A and B are shown apart, each in its own frame.
Chain A
Amino acid sequence: MNSRLKKVLLGGAAALFLIGASLVQNSLNRDRDTLELTRVEPLENAPPVLAFTTVALGGFRGLISNILWIRAMELQDNDKFFEMAQLSDWITKLEPHYVQVWLVQAWNMAYNISVKFTDYSDRWRWVKRGIELLRDEGLRYNKNELLIYRELAWLFQHKMGANLDDANMLYKQEWANEMAGVFGKLSTPNLDELIHPVTEDQRARAALLRDKYKMDPAFMKEVNQRYGPLEWRLPEAHAIYWAALGLRIAADKPSKVKPDDLIVLRRVIYQDMQLSFQRGRLVANPFAKRFEFGPNLDIIPKTNDAYEQAAEEDKANHDHILRAYRNFLRDAVYFLYEYNRISDAQRWYRYMAQKFPTDHVIDGDLNSTVGNVSLDDYALSRIQEDISGTPRDRIEGVIEGLIANSYRSLAVDGEEEHAYGFKLLAKKVWESYSSRIGKSRESAISLRPFDDIDREIRSRVLDPKEGAAPEIRAILRSRLGLPSESAAAPGPAESAGTNAPAAGATPTAVPR
């Protein structure tokens, strides 16, 4: 066989093999996709360098990623964090579709690295970096991965929202400041103006929301309608947003979703709604020049729905959820009572009786079913419980409620003693809690000074715009020895939350 013929034959064979391989490749790709062995679809939205790297390096990407990971761990062991952002970026970019890589790197930055710093602002930088890694990069390349939505929601809920980190208050404050740049200082943002911005300022804020925080105002509005009203300056609202977005993505691709992932996302939602109920109201404290938290009583019905839905869907945890649901209802009734929304409290108390007719409502008293205990007796027993041991946010809610009741009583003729009693009880709760927490947790979970809370409630009550009715304000000013409103200079009181009953609901409307 001469050389030319040999070349032609070999060339032909090569062409045949290539065609055959391309045919088999399609079938192989289909199998890879069906069996979920590896990723088939190309990397979307990737910059050219990354697209080139992922294709050119092939299987070696994992090897390089491992080497970088080892270096990252070594540096972390030696407390050298300045390279961590770069290494995380490379590691995740080398394995952009490997979800666990994103989750671990984000977790590492937000949890492990952040606490290594003594300065709280340094910690906040790393918590933010963890969030940004998932939100800005992880979701960019894996927009259908529910675990990333879940992890992002968890960082908001647990790292920023919970009080396990001593710097949690700074995280919340910093986040509230950032969000105030988008929504202004209103507790309820005007989402319509961000969906259809008209002015230059609205356009700039809408762009900030979309480009920096990767949030869609139209979907925020949807979330607000379904689960809210939410306080968007607080982390819980954002946890709900990302979990809800994950659920929406899951709804678009039901065949690719694991039921457990859905359950986890729904759990985030009802847990955060519960947290929003307990402390989902942000109140500017003009005395301490910072934000404080109060309960958001307006989302009780929707939180109730979320619990019912979760209990229905999550059969494996049905009993746990029901227990949490019952506790939520008990809290709801008690908080409503504290804020003098007595008729609402009565309604929910009856609802609790329907749902849990045989459960006792007073700890340690097995006969205390809803049918056997009046609302007043239940509320009093809860105050006793609160004094003996509860988390900071609920305690502060209790104290606020008691002080509010004290001013309400003060405004009513013959109730001065009762007012004094409420104030005394509030002070006792404050003292009891303050003596209970150890020195080491003081910075993380201590209450603000009692006088600050008192001043804030009083300013809310006396606020001409959103406070108590004018005649009640006048009585209170007189009994508190304050000058009349016309004589008083404009005070520092700012807009309060929305937990008051509707104006004119009762002649002894609660002073807030």
Chain B
Amino acid sequence: MQPLLAIALLTWKAAFRFRLFLVMAVLLLLSVVGLPLLIKDDGTARGFTQILLTYTLGTISALLGLSTLWLSCGTLARDIEECQMQMVVVKPIARWQVWLGKWLGIVSLNAALLGLAGACVFALLQWRATHLPADQQAVLRNEVLVARGAARERNFDQDIEARTNESFRDWKEKHRASTKDEQTEVRKAIHEQVKATYQIVLPGYQSRPWEIQLGLARHYLHGQPLFLRVKFNTADENDTSTYQGAFRVGVAKKTRLSQFTVQSMAPNAFHEFQLPPDLFDEDGVLTITFANPNETALLFPLDEGVEVLYREGGFALNFIRGLGIILCWMALLATVGLASASFLSFPVAAFFALGLLTMVLSSGTMASAVEQGTVAGYNPEKGTSGSSVVDVVAIPTFRAALKVIHMAEDYSPIDSLSSGRSITWSQLAMAFVQIVLILSGGIGLFGIVIFTRREMATAQGIS
């Protein structure tokens, strides 16, 4: 352990020697202090806090991410190029310890900088919040500076699948001569029809109840307001009309009741309403009924149509967990940088690492190629794709790359923090396992093996 810590300490010293720590600290502080003066918000305290969180944490992540890549490539590659590493490796220290020590040094440096910048952001937010009027403070405490959990209706996938299979069997019985393509299309259509029956609320005051199980949260939600978040669509994707809605929350003679009508709701948008406390029953089931007084059918998507948000914890711990996930990202970047520098010279390693980062950031392009089944030749009008030799290799590669990328990308703490969503300890643990242990571990192992087997005595990139 001692050699490991010694190398980590040396990495810190190198960072201080290059004034990296100081420069980064100043840049981070500037971004925290300067951004609030520059950004334009939507005019509300809530909007300002959300944009402040997004931009400060985004800037901090970007600055730290780039400097981490740079430092991790530089600290190893330049040590080798300048022949300092040759002096180290002859000492009684294993190469994997050198590699890991550098990684530890960079990650701990990141942790210190992230902690410093995070503390500033947190203090700034709290300071601003205390200077707001009471009603604005309440909005902030309830909707942004909070960790809100979410509860939805139970998953209907199995029911939908079962009903689809049943209807499809009947259809197949009647159409024995149908082709494979026809069957695929018909099954898809039946699936959508069945799914629609779970989502649609017909016009003319037809209603649809949602029973939402609050789980263990019911034990601490007594006396606390809940927030109902709804989103619906209409048949027209570009509908600019607005619709009325009549909500009833609770069950007559069983729980307290709350009823309200909303005059003007736009489709394809989230609408949030505060509900009075204690509307759920003894089993923690909150029943929400929506009646549709409009002349158009409204469709509530199963995944995000109706959601209940509730206070799960405070902002401070949520914020710390969010920073924890950002640190996991930094650890991954440090691993990528060190692994690149294990077998490449400094400029090439930096280029390679940045190239990888660009690929990750453009994963949307890969995702659409995988979805369309081709890298070229997709016909959006017919929904068909042409076949290409490149696709044979590119699509499976993209698919595999996306799986790896999603392991890191699925965690977006900045988004959760700015929207007041809870980042749970289990999410943080999962992020640590997936990003640090599995991804960083795999890449790090590769880097360590290469570095261990690398011949240090040869001329190192000197022309």
The stretch from A79-87, A391-399, A484-492 touching chain B is A79-87
**Distance, CA A84 to CA B43, complexed state (A):** 11
The interface size bin for chain A is: 20 to 34
Interfacial chain A residues near B41, Cβ < 8 Å: 82, 85-86
B98-136 interface with A by 8 A CB criterion? none
A129 in contact with B43 given A118-B271, A166-B242, A439-B293 (CB within 8 Å): yes
| The one of B39, B47, B51, B293 that contacts A440, using a Cβ cutoff of 8 Å | B293
**Distance, CA A85 to CA B54, complexed state (A):** 14
A85 in contact with B264 given A111-B240, A115-B242, A440-B294 (CB within 8 Å): no
B265 at the interface (CB under 8 A from A): yes
Interfacial chain A residues near B266, Cβ < 8 Å: 115-117
Task: Kindly provide the distance from the CB of A50 to the nearest chain B CB, expressed in whole angstroms.
Answer: 12
B263 at the interface (CB under 8 A from A): yes
Q: Which residue of B lies closest to A442 (CB)?
A: B263
A428-469 interface with B by 8 A CB criterion? 438-440, 443
A240 at the interface (CB under 8 A from B): no
A317 at the interface (CB under 8 A from B): no
Q: A118 to B265, Cβ gap below 8 A?
A: yes
Q: B243 to A115, Cβ gap below 8 A?
A: no
Task: Kindly provide the distance from the CB of A436 to the nearest chain B CB, expressed in whole angstroms.
Answer: 15
Q: A83 to B263, Cβ gap below 8 A?
A: no
Q: B43 to A440, Cβ gap below 8 A?
A: no
A86 in contact with B269 given A111-B240, A118-B264, A440-B295 (CB within 8 Å): no
**Distance, CA A111 to CA B241, complexed state (A):** 11
A116 in contact with B269 given A167-B264, A440-B295 (CB within 8 Å): yes
Q: A166 to B269, Cβ gap below 8 A?
A: no
1/0 per position for A90-113, CB-CB distance to B under 8 A? Answer: 000000000000000000000110
A86 in contact with B51 given A116-B269, A118-B264 (CB within 8 Å): yes
Q: B42 to A85, Cβ gap below 8 A?
A: yes
Q: B244 to A440, Cβ gap below 8 A?
A: yes
A89 at the interface (CB under 8 A from B): yes
A440 in contact with B243 given A82-B50, A86-B51, A118-B262 (CB within 8 Å): yes
The interface size bin for chain B is: 20 to 34
What does DSSP make chain A's interface, helix, strand, loop or mixed?
A: helix
| The one of B44, B263, B270, B294 that contacts A443, using a Cβ cutoff of 8 Å | B263
A89 in contact with B264 given A82-B46, A118-B271, A440-B243 (CB within 8 Å): no
Q: Which residue of B lies closest to A77 (CB)?
A: B268
B222 at the interface (CB under 8 A from A): no
Q: Which residue of B lies closest to A128 (CB)?
A: B43
A16-46 interface with B by 8 A CB criterion? none
Q: Which residue of A lies closest to B50 (CB)?
A: A82
**Distance, CA A225 to CA B434, complexed state (A):** 73
Q: A89 to B50, Cβ gap below 8 A?
A: no
B40 at the interface (CB under 8 A from A): yes
Q: B50 to A166, Cβ gap below 8 A?
A: no
**Distance, CA A80 to CA B269, complexed state (A):** 10
Q: A85 to B40, Cβ gap below 8 A?
A: yes
Task: Kindly provide the distance from the CB of A448 to the nearest chain B CB, expressed in whole angstroms.
Answer: 17
**Distance, CA A80 to CA B42, complexed state (A):** 11
**Distance, CA A440 to CA B205, complexed state (A):** 12
Task: Kindly provide the distance from the CB of B272 to the nearest chain A CB, expressed in whole angstroms.
Answer: 8
**Distance, CA A116 to CA B240, complexed state (A):** 9
Interfacial chain B residues near A86, Cβ < 8 Å: 39-41, 51
Task: Kindly provide the distance from the CB of B330 to the nearest chain A CB, expressed in whole angstroms.
Answer: 23
Q: Which residue of B lies closest to A83 (CB)?
A: B51
Interfacial chain B residues near A84, Cβ < 8 Å: 42
Task: Kindly provide the distance from the CB of B354 to the nearest chain A CB, expressed in whole angstroms.
Answer: 17
**Distance, CA A144 to CA B341, complexed state (A):** 56
| The one of B44, B240, B294, B419 that contacts A115, using a Cβ cutoff of 8 Å | B240
Most-contacted residue by chain A among B269, B271, B273, B295 (CB, 10 A) = B269
A479 at the interface (CB under 8 A from B): no
Interfacial chain B residues near A115, Cβ < 8 Å: 240, 242, 264, 266, 269
A143 at the interface (CB under 8 A from B): no
Interfacial chain A residues near B269, Cβ < 8 Å: 79, 115-117
Task: Kindly provide the distance from the CB of A159 to the nearest chain B CB, expressed in whole angstroms.
Answer: 12
A125 at the interface (CB under 8 A from B): yes
**Distance, CA A438 to CA B263, complexed state (A):** 13
| The one of B43, B263, B270 that contacts A85, using a Cβ cutoff of 8 Å | B43
Task: Kindly provide the distance from the CB of A155 to the nearest chain B CB, expressed in whole angstroms.
Answer: 15
Q: B240 to A112, Cβ gap below 8 A?
A: yes
Most-contacted residue by chain B among A81, A111, A116 (CB, 10 A) = A116
**Distance, CA A440 to CA B245, complexed state (A):** 10
Interfacial chain A residues near B264, Cβ < 8 Å: 115, 118, 120, 166-167, 443
Task: Kindly provide the distance from the CB of B243 to the nearest chain A CB, expressed in whole angstroms.
Answer: 7
The 7 closest A-B pairs by CB, nearest first: A116-B269, A82-B47, A166-B264, A82-B50, A115-B266, A86-B40, A79-B270
- Taking A112-B240, A118-B273 as given, write out 17 further A-B residue pairs in contact, using a Cβ cutoff of 8 Å, ordered by the A residue number: A80-B50, A80-B419, A81-B47, A82-B48, A82-B418, A85-B40, A86-B40, A89-B40, A115-B240, A115-B242, A115-B264, A118-B265, A165-B242, A166-B263, A439-B244, A440-B243, A443-B264
Task: List residues of A whose CB falls within 8 A of some B CB.
Answer: 79-86, 89, 111-112, 115-118, 120, 122, 125-126, 129, 165-167, 438-440, 443
